[in-house]
Structure 1
Amino acid sequence: MQNTKPKLLFVSITDKANGAENILLQAARASSASLLFLKKVDNGGLNLPDDLHVEYVSTGSILSGFWGLIKSLSNYRTDHIVFSTHPYLNAYLGFLKRIGYLKSKLIVRECSSVLTRYSGLKKLSYQIAYWLGYPGVNLVVCQTCSMRDVFVQHLPYIDKQKVIIQKNPIDIEQNLIKAEAPLPVADKGAEFICAAGRLIPEKGFDLLIMAFDEIKSSRPNLKLFIFGEGPEQITLENLIGELKLTDRVILKGWIANPMPFFKHAKACVVSSIKEGFPNVLLQMMILNPVVISTNCAGGIDEIPGIYLAEADNVNSLTTAINNALNAKKHNKDLIMQYVEDRTPEIFIKSILNALV
């Protein structure tokens, strides 16, 4: 890399406050870079600081955002480093490089192992996207060793030297500040465990609800709060009704700041079946010494101080939750040592150093 400060542009499909988008925001803030979104969401968007330069391609459909992106990139075609996350968007930008429209260097981040996560036509669509665009990418960032292994195995036509491992960042100070906000009046004094994420099958919230059903009788005052929105909401509501847990399991929907709940929970839970790496896990670890996670991504079984459960296993998750709630002592120091080298500044610096 040159000694002069690189001009960076971070690109995302939407400004929805999901894990991948939060990663880009943290990196953009750490490098004082511009952000470009294909589409602005109506609600549940990122809390974007005023000092960042932010552009939106479209307020309509995502498809119109892809179409308008070509024009929006005109100021960034050369002499920039473009950083994106999402296979379809990554592939689209890579294709623009392959045909010579985008001459700036392109870094893409893999948000999950989609080629093992999906099957059928959806998997085929990703395979086509990778084939069309990824040969034009300068650097591919994977979150874990296992994710990189899967990537190079399924995409042998991509130079392995271009595929690096960089752990997800976490802004410890910002999360601690957000956690100081008070709980809503209705939830003050409540005894609860909590989970957060999109309401999709991969998050395993149905397994978490069934695990909670197993422990409810021994903890009559305990509730389960789940934060997030998604297509599985009705399915989860039906499951809650079938198990007669309407007063005990609460789907809280999306909220801008779940950090106070993470801080005050009796335990925080990640119940995912398969992930790239659950960013919410890092937030929970910073704010609460009692964290349970399924072994849903590479490296989770190496995290010290958390309570580990098998993925897609209700009995294992039930046991891990019980063990966590029954424990008299938790090793908060080990957890903090694990997250302290994951600052957004270290994240973006390490990636730029790997770019040649």
Structure 2
Amino acid sequence: MKVAVFLPSGSLGGAEQVLLQIANAYAERGVVVHVYLLTNLKADDFKKRLRDNIKLICFETGRESIGIFKFFMHFVRTYNNCEFDFAYSSHVHLNAFVSVLRKFSALRIKKHIVRESTLIFNRFTGYRLKLFSFLYNIGYGKVDLIICQTELMKAHLVRNKPKLNTEKTVVINNPITPLNANVKFSNPYVGKQYIVSAGRLIPEKGFDLLIKAYQKTLVQFPELELVILGEGSCRLALTEQIEKADLTNRVHLRGWTNDVYSYFKYAKACVVASRIEGFPNVLLQMMTVNNSVASTLCAGGVDEIEGIHTCMVNNVDELSNAILLALRTDQIETRKLFDAFLDKNNIITYIRTIEQNVN
């Protein structure tokens, strides 16, 4: 068997992490896996997370438009040697591009599986939404399986693109790869109590709301600090918000890290404050090592996970209350609930379900 995985870059957002899990899981089975990055952005970091027996093809450019051209020329040159049993992609523009190349026989793929990464028709407007709509029209007709992360996402897609083949559109919960039993954690804030959140510093992630909600928790937990992991366009605005609230020594924008699990494990609570998500994969990572988790109802399916303290989006008071509840959680009982959920959604079961749906 031969498998291809296509990504825009090595930046490890939620969609990229799912594809990374897929690639590593196939490689662990001894399958030949080729991973293609359209650009070299964060390629070195991405490579470190791949199993040694995976072939990484990275196009030397920082622009996706150039990467798409290089991608096309690569497959023209290697046409006779590149035939894949399964191909995976998870970004609408890349899903469409791979599908079109396959349609015109420039790419030889037996089964093309695409994954929806967000609620496109809620998240975007104007020109970008029109572009995405066009890409759905030209690129999704020939795919073999469309994976939605939640029932809400499927309903959203079918409602906005009713001509898509609903028989090929399925809901499969996001996977999580169990941590190695020998993994070692290191407490990043020895002697301090903190809550933590993680994600790109963009408006959709709701970190501005989290800072306000955190400030309210200080009345009952005055020693608590807030750690936010990630980088993005809102760093300056968040820094200014922190300074205005006189929280400079309490709220820490730690940037990107390759060891989120240590931060999650030693936190008093983990928090997802997003306004909208396809499904927050970081939530599963938090559940893996921490028993006290709060989240907004930013995606379908979050409310179905027992043990998480949830609240409505865009509501600072509710978010603060959810955090306080998480801080007082019965941790032994919650651990049982989390483990049961994670066991049902491991990466092996995820791939098996996909293969059953396309075969």
The alignment's TM-score, normalised by the length of structure 2, stands at 0.92
What is the 5 A alignment of 1:283-294? 283-294=285-296
Alpha-carbon separation, structure 2, partners of 1:206 and 1:143:
26
What is the 5 A alignment of 1:1-356? 6-32=1-27, 33-42=33-42, 45-46=45-46, 47-73=49-75, 74-75=78-79, 78-104=83-109, 105-174=111-180, 177-178=182-183, 180-184=184-188, 187-327=189-329, 329=331, 330-356=333-359
Alpha-carbon separation, structure 2, partners of 1:226 and 1:128:
36
| Contact preservation (8 Å) 2:11, 2:42 | no
Alpha-carbon separation, structure 1, partners of 2:311 and 2:43:
34
| Contact preservation (8 Å) 1:17, 1:44 | no
- CA positional deviation for 1:60: 3.2
Alpha-carbon separation, structure 1, partners of 2:294 and 2:252:
19
Q: Secondary structure at the residue paired with 1:136?
A: coil
- CA positional deviation for 1:42: 4.4
AA aligned opposite 1:336 = D
Alpha-carbon separation, structure 2, partners of 1:13 and 1:124:
20
Alpha-carbon separation, structure 2, partners of 1:328 and 1:282:
19
- CA positional deviation for 1:79: 4.4
AA aligned opposite 1:14 = S
The alignment's TM-score, normalised by the length of structure 1, stands at 0.93
| Contact preservation (8 Å) 1:303, 1:338 | yes
AA aligned opposite 1:129 = L
AA aligned opposite 2:185 = A
Change in Cα spacing, 1:40 to 1:156, as seen in structure 2 (3 Å) is same
Q: Secondary structure at the residue paired with 1:247?
A: coil
Q: Secondary structure at the residue paired with 1:58?
A: coil
Quote the sequence identity (%).
Answer: 35
| Contact preservation (8 Å) 1:44, 1:254 | no
Q: Secondary structure at the residue paired with 1:173?
A: coil
| Contact preservation (8 Å) 1:210, 1:314 | yes
| Contact preservation (8 Å) 1:203, 1:271 | yes
Alpha-carbon separation, structure 2, partners of 1:239 and 1:247:
13
Bigger mean CA deviation after superposition, 295-304 or 39-48: 39-48
- CA positional deviation for 1:77: 5.2
Change in Cα spacing, 1:42 to 1:297, as seen in structure 2 (3 Å) is closer
Q: Secondary structure at the residue paired with 1:224?
A: strand
AA aligned opposite 1:343 = N
Bigger mean CA deviation after superposition, 105-114 or 248-257: 105-114
Deviations 1:81-128 (A, max 9, x none): 211111111111122223332231311111111111111122111111
Alpha-carbon separation, structure 2, partners of 1:90 and 1:53:
21
Q: Secondary structure at the residue paired with 1:140?
A: strand
Alpha-carbon separation, structure 2, partners of 1:345 and 1:251:
35
- CA positional deviation for 1:217: 3.1
Unaligned runs of 5+ in 2: 28-32
Change in Cα spacing, 1:204 to 1:344, as seen in structure 2 (3 Å) is same
- CA positional deviation for 1:307: 0.6
Alpha-carbon separation, structure 1, partners of 2:152 and 2:355:
22
- CA positional deviation for 1:345: 1.3
Alpha-carbon separation, structure 2, partners of 1:41 and 1:62:
10
Deviations 1:297-353 (A, max 9, x none): 111101001111111111110111112223455521011101102121111121111
AA aligned opposite 2:297 = N
| Contact preservation (8 Å) 2:43, 2:58 | no
Alpha-carbon separation, structure 2, partners of 1:167 and 1:89:
21
- CA positional deviation for 1:44: 7.9
- CA positional deviation for 1:43: 7.4
AA aligned opposite 1:97 = R
- CA positional deviation for 1:137: 1.4
| Contact preservation (8 Å) 2:242, 2:248 | yes
Change in Cα spacing, 1:79 to 1:41, as seen in structure 2 (3 Å) is closer
| Contact preservation (8 Å) 2:59, 2:70 | yes
